[in-house]
Amino acid sequence: MTAGRSLLALPMVLLLLGGAILPLAILVVISFWSVDFDAFELVPGFGLASWREVLGNPTYPYLIGKAVLTGSVTAGLTALAGYPIALSLLRVPQRWKSVALVVLMTPLYTGEIVRIYAWRLVLGTDGLVNGVLLGLHLVQVPVKVILFSPVSTILALVYDELPFMTLALWIALERLDLRLVEAARDLGARPLTAFVRVTLPMTSTGLCAGALAVFALSAGDLQTPNFLGGPTGATALASIDNFFGTAFDWPTASALALSLLFALGIVAAVASLLILRIGGGAVRTRP
């Protein structure tokens, strides 16, 4: 019986090994190799040069920290925006819910590049926001600080990843017994207090799932910072791309990729633990 059950897990184990562990192991090995730039060939060996470059040059810890920050801020903002949306979706009549789902997912049907150019049309010098500001005589010359800044990058990332957060929260909220919220109100909690003390912990698994997805997607996004960040658009991913592709410096690329992965993994794990702790008993003792 048990042996039979374990066999069922075999495809998953193989998939994990082949799809995740093996490529990572290859990265680890290559990160210690060097490159013969004359023959354009990787030279196997054990050297620490690439790790020294990645960990010793402040540029890369900075870029990794920036990825963590971008992921965290985006996850936080999508949660702030996602809860009100998901809560209002709860009130949508059952037969309209599939329509709401389709609408919610709209940003995902367009390509990332399309969305990026759309944001430029909205935020740019000749864009919608400036058109309104100029039309209302609130400014005399177009505001240039919105586009090509961290603001436009985060705005676009929040828009891009919001469906993942909202969907996760929505599913969690649909499973929440709304009488618990009524009970909290009944016992004297204001709406925000009831949210913090009941809704939030009771949907912490959904929040955790949404936050992890948004964190990973936004910390690992290359195009949005490239196209909307302007001079502030540098990312660890672009550096990895430069090393892997342009410079054929696979060892440094591997070391940087592994460092980024490690940092994102640690932050994601710690954040998940913290989020799930809000839900404490709800998660622990659900029958």
Partner 1 sequence: MAEPRAGGAGAPVLLSARGLLKRYGANPPVVAGVDFDVAERAFTTLLGPSGCGKTTILRMIGGFETPTGGTLTLDGVLLGDHPPERRPVNTVFQSYALFPHMSVFDNVAFSLTLRSGTGDVAAKVRRALDAVHMAEFGDRYPSQLSGGQQQRVAVARAMVAEPRLLLLDEPLSALDRAMRAHLQRELKDLQRRLGIAFVYVTHDQDEAFALSDTVLVMNAGRIVQAGAPEAVYRRPASSFVAGFIGGATLLPGHVTAVSEAGTTISTALGTFEAPGHPGLAQGMPASLVLRPDSIVVREGGTVQAAVRHVTFMGQGYAVDAEAQGQSLRFAAAEPPRIGTTVPLSVIGDRAYVTAPA
Partner 2 sequence: MSVLFTRRQTLAGIVGGVSAGLLSVERARAAVAELVWATWDSNAHPEYVEPFRKETGTAIKLSFLSSEDAQFAALKTGSAKDWDVVNPGLNGAWRYIDGKVLRPLDLARIPNRQYLYAPFKDTPKVVGKDGATYAVPYLWGLNPIVYRKDIYKDEPTYATLFDAKYKGQLAMRDYALESIGVAGLYIGIPRDQVFTMDDSQLAEAKKALIAQKPLLRTYWQTIGDLTNLFATNEVTCAFSWRVPYDALKGKMAMGMAKPKAGIFGWCDTFAIPTSTPDDKVAAAHAFGNYLLGPDYAMAIAEIGNYATASSVIRDKLSHDKQEAIFVDDMSVMNSFMWPVAPPNYSAWLKVWNEVKAA
Residues contributing to the site for partner 2 (CB under 8 A)? 35, 37-41, 53, 57, 59-60, 62-63, 66, 117, 120-121, 124-127, 144, 147-148, 226-227, 229-231, 233-234, 238-239, 242-249, 252
Length of the chain: 287
Shortest spacing between CB 202 and partner 1, in angstroms:
6
Helices and strands (H and E) in the chain: how many: 16, 2
| Cβ proximity to partner 2, 170 vs 243, nearer residue | 243
Q: Show Cβ contacts of residue 130 under 8 Å, excluding neighbours closer than 6 positions.
A: 124, 139, 142, 143
Whole-angstrom distance, CA of residue 28 vs CA of residue 140 = 55
Query: Does residue 110 bind partner 1 (CB under 8 A)?
Result: no
Partner interacting with residue 243 (select from partner 2, partner 1, none; CB below 5-8 Å by kind): partner 2
Closer residue to partner 2, CB minimum distance, 217 or 238: 238
Which amino acid is present at 126? Answer: D
285 is a site residue for partner 1 (CB under 8 A): yes
Q: Is 174 in the site for partner 1 (CB under 8 A)?
A: no
Hey, what's the torsion of the CAs at 105, 111, 115, 117, to 10 degrees? -170
- 182-221 positions binding partner 1, by CB under 8 A: 182-191, 193, 197-198, 201-202
Q: How far is the CB of 269 from partner 2 (least distance, A)?
A: 26
Provide Rg for the chain, Cα atoms. 23
User: Can you tell me which of 180, 196, 216, 263 binds partner 1, judged by CB under 8 A?
Assistant: 180
**120 contacts which partner out of partner 1, partner 2, none, CB within 5 to 8 A by kind?**
partner 2
Question: Kind of pairing, strands 41-43 and 34-36?
Answer: antiparallel
| Residue 279 is a binding residue for partner 1 (CB under 8 A) | yes
Which of the listed partners (partner 1, partner 2, none) does 83 bind, with a CB threshold of 5 to 8 Å by partner kind? Answer: none
Q: Alpha helices, DSSP H only, in 57-203?
A: 59-90, 97-104, 106-109, 112-123, 128-135, 150-174, 178-186, 191-194, 200-202
CB of 27 to partner 1, least distance (A): 40
- Residues 222 and 112: their CA atoms lie apart, in Å, by 10
Point out which residues bind partner 1 (CB under 8 A). 177, 179-180, 182-191, 193, 197-198, 201-202, 279-287
